[in-house]
Structure 1
Amino acid sequence: MSSSVVVGAPLAVRVRFAHATIQHLAEKCGADVLHIKGVAIDRAIASATRVGADADVLVRPAHVDALLDEMGKHGWDVRSTFESGSPFGHAVTLTHEVWGFADLHRHFPGIGTAPERAFDRLWRDRSLTTIAGVPCPVPSVAAQSLILVLNAARAGGHASVDVRAAWTGASEARKDEIRVLRDELEAQVGFAAATGGLEDFRDAREYDLWRLTVGGGTRMEEWAARIRATSSRREALRLAWRAPQVNVDHLAHRLGRRPSRTDIAREFFARPARGLREELAALVRRRQGRR
């Protein structure tokens, strides 16, 4: 199939070819990947998700650099890094002029087990599904369900169609499998954020981060929650140092071009004022709510 044909093809077709291409490159460089979400979902829960605009893959953490290097050799460009992409620092977004977008996850938000150990657990129960004619490893159906629920927490929580199809509409036997895997992967807090039981975990260090993820909040609140959610003093200090820095990737997206030094300097001094306005607006909303 020529590039021009693929570019003009429906989004679902391009996403499938992106998955197939990433699988080919993963095999070429010896990287273990699991295809997740979107077109990789098992038909048993396929109604739980939309096609999506990108190809999502979970990469064995030790193999991330090798796969990123291989993809870079074949026209994939980094759009946002692990550090700039989300509060969870879990994925790097890449783009290709033919295949579109892809998210490479080094871990999945909500899974508390160490990333390498968590990947080993998911890899152990993997199966194969064919995407665009290429056999691609995918997690078990129970693991796919868990991932969909955790993803729903980041996209609005318990009201989503993903939660209904992957969890509330599941059989009791499937729910038992999901519960066992949830506990094994230490995913209770993120799972509760999606299913309505987050208040049971108020003492968890990641409680505030999930509360803000589901319900929204200011950027200052988000950074404070990210720091509280860390498991080490070193990581907390690293995040505290990064908090006032300009997210150059996000600024580039907003400007539609790579920012100049002047753009970055202007943004650096504009951020405190914008943050103060957000905090004042949040304070007003809280007072109005109490009334």
Structure 2
Amino acid sequence: MSSSAPEVDGARDIPPWARLALSRAAVQVLADQTGARLLHIKGDAVDPMIRPEARSGTDVDVLADPRSIPALHRTLRAHGWTVYSTFRFGSPFEHAQTYAHDMWGYLDLHRRFPGIGLADQQAFDLLWSERTSRQIAGIDYKAPSIEAQAVLLVLNAARAGRGMPSFWTDFDPSHRTRSEALVGRLQAQVAFATAEGSLEMFRGRRDYLLWKVTAQGGPRIAEWWGRVRAQPTMGQSLRVIAQAPLVNTDRLARRLGHEPSRREVIMEFFARGLRGAREASSAVLRRGR
């Protein structure tokens, strides 16, 4: 989840590890009913060989077959899951939509994984073709191969600005070789280089700036320009440009504690513009020193 979420009321008396296991199973049951293909990622879905920490995580993360997301969304809503944050406003990569359930907690439904440059459907099909089978709470589910899990952990660490995960040094050489080959097949070289500390080798790539700002920080205007440059087509770049001035109503609702009124959205629009202007001015002054 891109931002911390409050505890769900119905889950307070359930041990976190038990709630997470039951939540993962519940999500998979709904996916099976819908006919949706899911790959479970992160947390306790990661192979213990490369899991960086013993803790199992705080929410369920799944990578979904992009074609099945509309039907899965309807099924989740019909079974008590509400949208907490949307694809549009969830992150600069617009990669996941977060759902909340009174009993099961939080679900991050990914349509893509940040750092993978291959088209969403092609990337999912590639990862699905090398899937592994696992079980939790008596329910069978699918996870990426151990090599793919390793790549996803590295890309996730790059996005968080943490560098290479600790497991990578001791990763079995044959697994590591296959993981490195998979990086190329997924067109994930720029994000992988970010974790390795060799991002500057990719200065000419369209997603270079976005990963530089993501991993190292920077003003919002740099992030938005990075998002514009990272888009594969002119049409998608124009869409991002048009979206840039819009208020993140998901974030505003969480800050206010209620759905924002039209007046509150308008006030935030102008406040956001002032913050952006201040950031831009500060960046110019720092560059001039």
TM-score by length of 1: 0.92
Give, in angstroms, the shift of residue 157 of structure 1: 3.0
> Is residue 13 from structure 1 mapped to residue 18 from structure 2 by the alignment?
yes
The residue correspondences of 1:128-207 to structure 2 (distance < 5 A) are 128-158=133-163, 163-165=165-167, 167-207=168-208
Matched residue SS, 1:43 = coil
Matched residue SS, 2:118 = coil
Q: Quick one: structure 1 residues 78 and 181, their matched pair in 2 at CA, closer, same or farther if it must change by over 3 Å?
A: same
Q: Quick one: structure 1 residues 118 and 204, their matched pair in 2 at CA, closer, same or farther if it must change by over 3 Å?
A: same
Q: Tell me the percent identity.
A: 46
**Cα distance in 1 between the residues matched to 2:272 and 2:285:** 20
Output the amino acid matched with 1:17.
L
Q: Of the candidates 53, 64, 70, which is equivalent to residue 65 of structure 1?
A: 70
Give the superposed CA RMSD. 1.8
- Partner of residue 217, structure 1: 218
Task: Summarize deviations over 1:56-99 as a string: whole Å, max 9, x none.
Answer: 00000101111111000000001111111000011101100111
Output the amino acid matched with 1:218.
P
Count of aligned pairs between the two proteins: 282
Worse-matched range after superposition: 19-28 or 9-18: 9-18
- Is the contact made by 1:38 and 1:51 (CA closer than 8 Å) also made in structure 2? yes
Task: Summarize deviations over 1:131-155 as a string: whole Å, max 9, x none.
Answer: 2221110010000000010011111
**Cα distance in 2 between the residues matched to 1:40 and 1:49:** 12
Output the amino acid matched with 2:208.
Y
- Is the contact made by 2:87 and 2:95 (CA closer than 8 Å) also made in structure 1? yes
Output the amino acid matched with 1:97.
D
Matched residue SS, 2:158 = helix
- Is the contact made by 1:7 and 1:99 (CA closer than 8 Å) also made in structure 2? no
Give, in angstroms, the shift of residue 10 of structure 1: 2.3
Matched residue SS, 1:143 = helix
Worse-matched range after superposition: 87-96 or 149-158: 149-158
Q: Quick one: structure 1 residues 49 and 141, their matched pair in 2 at CA, closer, same or farther if it must change by over 3 Å?
A: farther
> Is residue 126 from structure 1 mapped to residue 131 from structure 2 by the alignment?
yes
Q: Quick one: structure 1 residues 189 and 43, their matched pair in 2 at CA, closer, same or farther if it must change by over 3 Å?
A: same
Is there any run of 5+ residues in structure 2 with no aligned partner, and where?
1-7
Give, in angstroms, the shift of residue 284 of structure 1: 4.6
Q: Quick one: structure 1 residues 48 and 285, their matched pair in 2 at CA, closer, same or farther if it must change by over 3 Å?
A: farther
- Partner of residue 100, structure 1: 105
**Greater share of helix:** 1
- Partner of residue 23, structure 1: 28
**Cα distance in 1 between the residues matched to 2:88 and 2:201:** 30
**Cα distance in 2 between the residues matched to 1:255 and 1:216:** 26
**Cα distance in 2 between the residues matched to 1:44 and 1:271:** 45
Output the amino acid matched with 2:22.
F
Give, in angstroms, the shift of residue 252 of structure 1: 0.7
Give, in angstroms, the shift of residue 46 of structure 1: 2.1
**Cα distance in 1 between the residues matched to 2:134 and 2:107:** 18
**Cα distance in 1 between the residues matched to 2:63 and 2:199:** 26
Give, in angstroms, the shift of residue 125 of structure 1: 1.2
Give, in angstroms, the shift of residue 15 of structure 1: 1.8
Output the amino acid matched with 1:164.
S
Q: Quick one: structure 1 residues 215 and 50, their matched pair in 2 at CA, closer, same or farther if it must change by over 3 Å?
A: farther
